[in-house]
Amino acid sequence: MDPSSPNPQPAPVSRRQVVLRDLLDDLLWPKLLRAGAMSLRPERVVIAYATLLFITLAMHAARYIPGADDFLTKAGVLFSAQSERAANSVIYTNLPQLGGALYTYAHGLADLIAESPWVALACAAPWLLIAPFGASAICRLTAVETAHRVISSWPVGVGFALRAAKASILAVMGPVILLGLGVLGLAIIGAALFSVGGLGVVGALFFFLALAACAGMVLLGLGWVLGLPMFVPSVACEGPDPIDAVQRVLAYLVGRPLRIAAYSLVLIAELVIVASVVGIVVHATLDLATWGLTLFCGPDARAALSGQGDTLTGAWKSAARVAQFWREAFLGLVPAVVFSFVCSGWTIAYLLIRQLHDGQDRSEIWMPGMIPGTLAQDAASDDDDDE
Mean pLDDT is lowest, of 23-37, 127-141, 194-208, 260-274, for: 194-208
What residues does each domain of the chain span?
35-67+116-367
pLDDT attached to residue 90? 73
Confidence check: pLDDT of 237 > 80: yes
Do 199 and 192 touch, CB atoms closer than 8 A? Answer: yes
**pLDDT digits over 57-102, tens only?**
988 888 888 888 888 888 888 888 888 888 777 777 777 887 888 8
Confidence check: pLDDT of 145 > 60: yes
Q: Which residue has the higher pLDDT, 320 or 131?
A: 131
Task: Band the pLDDT of 271: cuts 50, 70, 90.
Answer: very high
Q: Which residue has the higher pLDDT, 197 or 113?
A: 113
Confidence check: pLDDT of 31 > 50: yes
Q: Find the mean pLDDT for residues 357-364.
A: 88
* Residues, the chain: 387
Task: Band the pLDDT of 23: cuts 50, 70, 90.
Answer: very low
Q: Which residue has the higher pLDDT, 64 or 205?
A: 64
Confidence check: pLDDT of 171 > 80: yes
pLDDT attached to residue 383? 46
Confidence check: pLDDT of 381 > 50: no
Confidence check: pLDDT of 6 > 60: no
pLDDT attached to residue 387? 34
pTM: 0.82
pLDDT attached to residue 4? 55
Q: Which residue has the higher pLDDT, 375 or 270?
A: 270
R_g of the chain, CA atoms, integer Å = 27
Q: Report the distance separating Cα 77 and Cα 71, nearest Å.
A: 10
Confidence check: pLDDT of 18 > 50: no
